Chains A and B, each alone.
Chain A
């Protein structure tokens, strides 16, 4: 079964600086992986997904993530943080039977 670990529960960046949200996965086979974002009092929105077609995946709002098999990582990045990026981010395994359980995610704080 797949599982993921989000290494930071909180990340704080200044507006205009790069964002890095870390996610490591463990899987005995090639996984599919998703990043979702949840703004306060809102539902989850799909940012991007990896399904083995390309290791660098571009998502919405300027986010991208790179699948690195050697590091078993799928970190989410953005070159320049915007105030509207403040939210909670979830790295989620997928594929196979979709009984997905989301962890507590990573809360991103953007400081003006």
Chain B
């Protein structure tokens, strides 16, 4: 059973461009969580999704950030018009249910030039 997969592992964007981060949960997992880790900081919750539903996006910045988890395919975290402050590692986790253990992917490291 493959673990949580994220791609790309490294992403470089110039200011103003869009960044798309993908997360494929573990097989059988229908709950996905996104976290952001700024340099020298801990992980901060961004959004919790189930298939086709956003359950909690209270950790998402109000502008430029959006997330989806379609019926088919990976979960996508989209950042529009990136700024230097968006440079961070973005981690995705998945679980079988909302009370169950979260398993993390290797992360996508976004660098905004």
Task: Confirm or deny: B27 has a beta carbon within 8 angstroms of a beta carbon on chain A.
Answer: no
Q: Chain A nearest CB: distance from B44 CB in Å?
A: 6
Task: Confirm or deny: B1 has a beta carbon within 8 angstroms of a beta carbon on chain A.
Answer: no
* B: contact size bracket: 20 to 34
Q: Chain A nearest CB: distance from B33 CB in Å?
A: 7
Residue pairs across A and B with CB atoms within 8 Å: the count is: 59
Alpha-carbon separation in the docked complex, A101 to B93 (Å): 12
**Cβ–Cβ contact B42 & A102, under 8 A:** yes
Q: Using Cβ atoms and an 8 Å threshold, which residues of chain A touch B75?
A: none
Per-residue CB proximity of B75-113 to A under 8 Å, as 1/0?
Answer: 000000000000000010101001111111111010000
> What is B's interface to A at a CB cutoff of 8 Å?
4, 6, 31, 33, 35, 41-45, 48, 56, 58-59, 91, 93, 95, 98-107, 109
> What is A's interface to B at a CB cutoff of 8 Å?
34, 36, 41-46, 49, 90, 94-105
